[in-house]
Amino acid sequence: QVQLVESGGGLVQAGGSLRLSCAASGRSFSSYAMGWFRQAPGNEREFVAAINWNGGITYYADSVKGRFTISRDNAKNTVYLQMNSLKPEDTAVYYCAAGGWIRQDDYDYWGQGTQVTVSS
């Protein structure tokens, strides 16, 4: 019902910025809450940020508050993650997901992931 494709990952030095995009297909994108998760080598996948259906409510992991911003453009069927002041510990594969909130098991759809590498 929903397919998700992430883009915008890459290599950046500590203190730099990246903007990730997640393009969605499907007729009911605007009805879904959307989230971003990440998984670093040797670690479990963890919650990063979530946004409700109209963008009026957002929620962030403590580790990224004040640095990352989640947003969405329902007219473009796209959700974004603006990442500023990046740190080496932000290095991970970043995934977007649809149909949940904070718990990853609540999400129905997942993208393939995009690699973010932050060098020191």
pLDDT value at position 31? 85
pLDDT value at position 20? 98
pLDDT value at position 38? 98
Say if CB 107 and CB 1 are below 8 A apart.
no
pLDDT value at position 102? 83
Walk along the chain (120 residues) in steps of 10 and give the mean pLDDT of each run: 94 98 87 95 96 94 98 94 98 95 90 97
- Tokens for 83, please give them: 């990442």
pLDDT value at position 26? 78
Instruction: Give 23-89 as a DSSP string.
Output: EEESTTGGGS-EEEEEE-TTS--EEEEEE-TTSS-EEE-TTTTTTEEEEEEGGGTEEEEEE-S--GG
